[in-house]
Amino acid sequence: MSTENNVEFPILKKFIDIGNRSLLIKGESGDGKKTLSLDLARNVAKDYNIYFITGNKKPEMMHTWYPWTKSFLPSENIIQISSNELISSDSNFLLAEMLNRISGTVTTVDDPFVSDVEPKKPFIILDIWDSIITEFNPQLKMHAEKLVTSLADKHNGFIVFLSDKEEHSSLEQLVDGVIQTSKLYVDNYMMREITLKKLMGMEIQTSKIPFSFKNGKLYAFSSFLHFEEECKKFEPVPDSKNIFSTGNQNFDAKLGGGFKKGTIIGIEIDPDVDRYAFVPFLLPLVLNFLSHDNSALISLSSDQNAESYLDHISPHIDDQKLLENLRLYCHTFGQSKSQVVLERGEEQNFESAHKKWLEHYHQLKQKQNSLLMLVDYSFIELGYRGNLDAVLKAMIENTRIIRHNKDLMIMTSRPGFQTLGVMKSACDIHFRVFDHNGCTFICTEKPKLFCSNIQTNSSLGFPQLQLTDVY
């Protein structure tokens, strides 16, 4: 989510600030055109008087549906041309009437002896453009477009056209910018996005920007960011009798309290996802287990450095709890001396490696406490291609052990790997993490609970998951 001065689309504010005069926002009804135009108005209200020209929304209705606009869109600036006028009047008359009302509203006379404050410029949103020009032939339509766009130049203001018509129009050649709002479905979840088709004077590096709504306001999703703030000790979140907390109270709430004990969690990772996206998801969970004197047994991939992994965890928890409760199973090549790190060895036979894994599991379980098991099976599959049947069999065996002992298991895999199919069948909750237009999302595939943009929140002194739902 964009946070730069609370501006959801900084590129659009800059587009207005550099002196452009007009923008066409087109898209189907319900795609967010009005909300987007009002959000742009909010961002520039310091320098502009905002006007909204509508055909079916009375001022009180506008402020009921968009209560956050009251601070910058006064009732007298909501100009209604009634539905009766739209139906019964000649289009030429409606155009003239609209121009007169706009001109009459935005034209003011300032007494130079009373105030030396520069008057605000008009920012006009036209929500009735389609109704005005619906009966015009191409020549009259172009004439009307030129008349209305000239208003912005005349009053040194800005004008926004809203249109439900998605096909190309002559208006696109006249205005300084063109944006299209749209909806699409990703794994049965509806995603909204804007497409930046034309912005005069601006370099468009990312033409498609996903966004969502919350409490009637618009929120733009952004690419995954790594936030580094002052490290603090982790404050554990209590587990309940039958549920493990994720270590993140907000995430717990989305999951109905957390993860039920004895649950198998599967995470499907798309290839282009930033691996760091898993830090705010998994780190609080691992820390919460260790803080409660429970154990964590984690199998690292061949390209993960054990010491780097420990560097993410150790600043947030007491050394004693770390030494007693955490075990990392990986290749160290003799470079790590920590008792937390377990050397995987060079076993060519997967059965031998899996036997050692289970030995470490049972050693940790001697404390009679709960355990978190975390394995990336796509890397296991890569490392033991010749023993794939044994790998798949071990996956099932591990899930049975975890369920029987009421522990928690998180296994991950990727598209194109056979372990993904077994993971999907064996898990109780199936997450999918994917990239869409440069933004990272997490969705629950089984059961269907939510689809959210992933960001990191480090305000508590450690990375934790911050989710903004897709609506």
Determine the pLDDT at residue 348.
Answer: 63
Q: Report whether 26 contacts 165 (CB < 8 A).
A: yes
Q: Report whether 165 contacts 191 (CB < 8 A).
A: no
Per-residue pLDDT of the chain (471 residues; tens, 9 = 90+): 444 445 678 899 999 999 999 999 999 988 999 999 999 999 999 999 999 988 766 777 888 888 999 999 999 898 887 655 544 455 555 566 666 666 666 554 344 334 445 678 889 999 988 877 877 778 888 888 888 888 788 888 999 999 998 777 889 999 999 999 999 887 778 889 999 999 999 999 889 999 988 777 888 888 877 766 678 999 999 999 999 999 999 999 999 999 999 999 999 999 889 888 888 999 999 999 999 999 999 998 877 778 888 888 999 999 999 999 999 987 665 565 678 887 765 556 888 889 989 999 999 999 889 999 999 999 999 988 889 999 999 999 999 999 999 999 999 999 999 999 999 999 999 999 999 888 899 999 999 899 999 988 888 888 888 898 887
Name the strand (E) or helix (H) holding 54: strand 48-54
User: Which phi and psi angles does 362 have, rounded to 5°?
Assistant: -70, -30
Cα angle 368, 407, 410 (rounded to 5 degrees) comes to: 140
Determine the pLDDT at residue 332.
Answer: 65
Among the listed residues 446, 442, 447, the one whose alpha carbon sits nearest the alpha carbon of residue 467: 442
Bridge partners of 443, per DSSP, are 432, 451
- Read off the amino acid at residue 451: C
Exposed/middle/buried for 310, CB within 10 Å: 0-12, 13-18, 19+? middle
Calpha distance 293→296 (Å, rounded): 10
Domains and CATH numbers, the chain: 4-220 (3.40.50.300), 243-469 (3.40.50.300)
The residue with tokens 């269907």 is 448
Determine the pLDDT at residue 321.
Answer: 93
For 365-461, where are the alpha helices, taking DSSP H only? Answer: 377-383, 388-405, 418-426
Determine the pLDDT at residue 114.
Answer: 42
Name the strand (E) or helix (H) holding 17: helix 10-17
Angle between the N-to-C axes of helices 306-313 and 279-291, in degrees from 0 to 180, rounded to the nearest 10: 70
Query: Which residues neighbour 401 within 8 Å (Cβ) at sequence distance 6 or greater?
Result: 358, 361, 407
User: Which phi and psi angles does 9 have, rounded to 5°?
Assistant: -125, 80
The DSSP symbol for 238 reads P
DSSP letter string over 161-176? EEES--S--THHHHSS
User: Which phi and psi angles does 403 have, rounded to 5°?
Assistant: -65, -45
User: Which phi and psi angles does 121 have, rounded to 5°?
Assistant: -85, 155
Determine the pLDDT at residue 289.
Answer: 97
